[in-house]
Amino acid sequence: MNLLDIELIKLKNTFALWLTFVGALFLPLLLFTTYLFESQEFLPAPRINPWYDYLLRTFNGCCFFSLGFILLIIGLILNIEHKANSWKQLFTLPVRRGRLYRAKTTLIFSVITVFFLLYFVFAITSGQLLGLIKPSLGFRQYRVPYDYIFRFLLDLFVSIIPMIIIQYWISFRMRNLITSLGMGLFGLLMGLLLKNWDHIIYLPYATPFQMLNYKETDVLNRQHFYLVNAGYSLLFIVLSYKDFTKRFQG
Amino acid sequence: MQNSDKLIIETNHLSFGFSKDKIVLQDINLQIPRGSIYGFLGPNGAGKTTTIRLLLNLLKPDHGSITVLGESVRNASVNLFSRIGALIETPSLYEHLTGFDNLQVTAGIRNIPKSRVLEVLEILQLSRDADKHVKNYSLGMKQRIGLALALLSSPDLLILDEPTNGLDPNGIIEIRELLLHLNRDRGVTILVSSHLLSEIEKLVTHIGILDQGKMVFQGSLKHLQAIRQEQSVIEISTDRNNVAMEVLLNNKLVAKIGKEFLEVQYLDQFQVSAIIGLLTKAGVAIYRMQLIESSLEQTFLSFINKN
């Protein structure tokens, strides 16, 4: 059996799995109800595609709220092993530690990808529904700018990869979910406080906040941004992999 | 010293400490013969679990070497662990999953077919509860699922750390019967740790006693029984203990004057009538004669107290 399939078995009946769905639904539902009951506030100007304004709110919500959910999802996934005290059992099985590390990493990235996909599926569906219920909002008259969404998702994902790896590292090291989650939230808080710092791009937990008020023609220094995040991702993967395979005792 | 080829586990001068000040194991030379059931005894905190973790490569020794199934554990291939089944301390179970799913997780990693999972559930009488969530299991059922995990791969070597923890007397007997069957009929070598000799004395062929990180005894159960016999005495009370003592010593019996009685080292049942004959012939009146046997448990405790 594939190690990822085994990880999926472990995910059955867990809060992590529920959170992936409920967390993804949370903000789109909030936006939906706000647009529905305060529709006068959101009426678009003539010949303006309302999707851009709607999506910008969705993106900003994603930057603020989804990161907390992601930290919690990572913590809960690793907590499955801590709670069962199963690291020692896994390490006595005929499987290399490197494969266990890769399987868990793949699971985490898969769950986060599903989370974002669901988030945008729910957001777009909610926009379409709003268009049906309140035609004056204009959602049915304009096409959804998928390329805008795709570009945001790509940038956001690149910006959070180092944070995900660090949080994964902290979460397998810390048996206590509250401690690992607290450390992650502290990182996010620092990122938010230092949001306007010149060198903020070098603080992994702060990079997602660079995506706030994301414009299609954003002036992010993309090459530098990708390079820094690729460098960080590689560094943290190598360090956490070495720690997991050589030093971690479960 | 046993022939290395016949040993399934061998450690040489094994030492380990969690820090420089906290030495847990000192100079451990385990010798576990192939086909044996080795009882690894010691009080809580003696270092049994640490030794087992070292054998399974979960910890790295400070000094010494470990050979398991002919392979050095330090450079062991992944294949080595496919021949070992282990249960360390409390079983590692995913309580939100069913018993079947718990076994399926390990079976998947070990590439074991579903038919074997069902077979092991049957062996441990868990088939009926296989679809229940483990969080609803009793302690005994959890222990049996832990054993099932260890048995999945039909291992050559089973390492069980206090497997009867939390089991009622019937459960203990069932596990004992199962382990005896595995050893006798399938040739599985078993290392089983416990802090109670009484729990495993009907099971084991060999015993190692660990106390405060040191091996204080290692040998066959027969060897331990012989030591127990050496510690058994015949207490004798007579009208003239000094004369009786002289008679006994003249007849090359190992005797001493104890607090209240004469004490003669017990050798066998025929000795009792011989002593009565000798003392009667010497005109000594015997008031009382009693065999005080040392139990295996007392022998075990005597090793620990000595240390």
Reported ipTM? 0.86
Percent of chain A at pLDDT exceeding 90:
62
Mean pLDDT across the stretch B199-227? 89
Percent of chain B at pLDDT exceeding 70:
98
Task: Answer whether A84 sits within 8 Å of B88, measured CB to CB.
Answer: no
pLDDT at position B96 is: 95
Using the Cβ of A96 and the Cβ atoms of chain B, whether some distance falls under 8 Å is answered with: yes
Mean pLDDT across the stretch A214-240? 82
* Residue among B84, B88, B96 whose CB faces A88 most closely: B88
- In the stretch 106-125 of chain B, residues with CB closer than 8 A to chain A read 106-111
pLDDT at position B5 is: 60
Q: Tokens at residue B29, please?
A: 């030379």
* Residue among A5, A9, A86 whose CB faces B92 most closely: A86
Q: Tokens at residue B21, please?
A: 């000040």
* Residue among A3, A12, A84 whose CB faces B93 most closely: A84
Residue of B nearest to A85 (CA): B92
The DSSP call for residue A14 is -
pLDDT at position B89 is: 80
pLDDT at position B1 is: 47
pLDDT at position B168 is: 82
pLDDT at position A82 is: 95
Q: Which of B193, B215, B214 is nearest to B204 (CA)?
A: B193
Mean pLDDT across the stretch A79-104? 93
- Pick from A10-24, A214-228, B162-176, B266-280 the range whose average pLDDT is largest: A10-24
Task: Answer whether A249 sits within 8 Å of B58, measured CB to CB.
Answer: yes
Task: Answer whether A92 sits within 8 Å of B78, measured CB to CB.
Answer: no
pLDDT at position B195 is: 83
Mean pLDDT across the stretch B38-58? 92
The answer to whether residue B20 scores a pLDDT higher than 70 is yes
Q: What single string gives the DSSP state of each residue in chain B?
A: ---GGGEEEEEEEEEEESSSS-EEEEEE--EEETT-EEEEE--TTSSHHHHHHHHTTSS--SEEEEEETTEESTT--HHHHHTEEEE-SS----TTSBHHHHHHHHHHHHT--HHHHHHHHHHTT-GGGTTSBGGGS-HHHHHHHHHHHHHTT--SEEEEESTTTT--HHHHHHHHHHHHHHHHHH--EEEEEES-HHHHTTT-SEEEEEETTEEEEEEEHHHHHHHHHHT-EEEEEES-HHHHHHHHHHTT--EEE-SSSEEEE---THHHHHHHHHHHHTTPPEEEEEEEPPPHHHHHHHHHHH-
The answer to whether residue B109 scores a pLDDT higher than 60 is yes
The answer to whether residue B40 scores a pLDDT higher than 50 is yes
User: pTM of the predicted model, to two decimals?
Assistant: 0.83
Q: Which of A229, A232, A250, A202 is nearest to A104 (CA)?
A: A250
pLDDT interval class at B167 (50, 70, 90): confident
Per-residue pLDDT of A53-74, as tens digits, reads 999 999 998 888 888 999 999 9
pLDDT interval class at A214 (50, 70, 90): confident
Per-residue pLDDT of B134-158, as tens digits, reads 999 988 889 889 999 999 999 999 9
Under 8 Å between Cβ of B103 and A7: no
pLDDT interval class at B98 (50, 70, 90): very high
pLDDT interval class at A117 (50, 70, 90): very high
Mean pLDDT across the stretch A170-188? 94
pLDDT interval class at A179 (50, 70, 90): very high
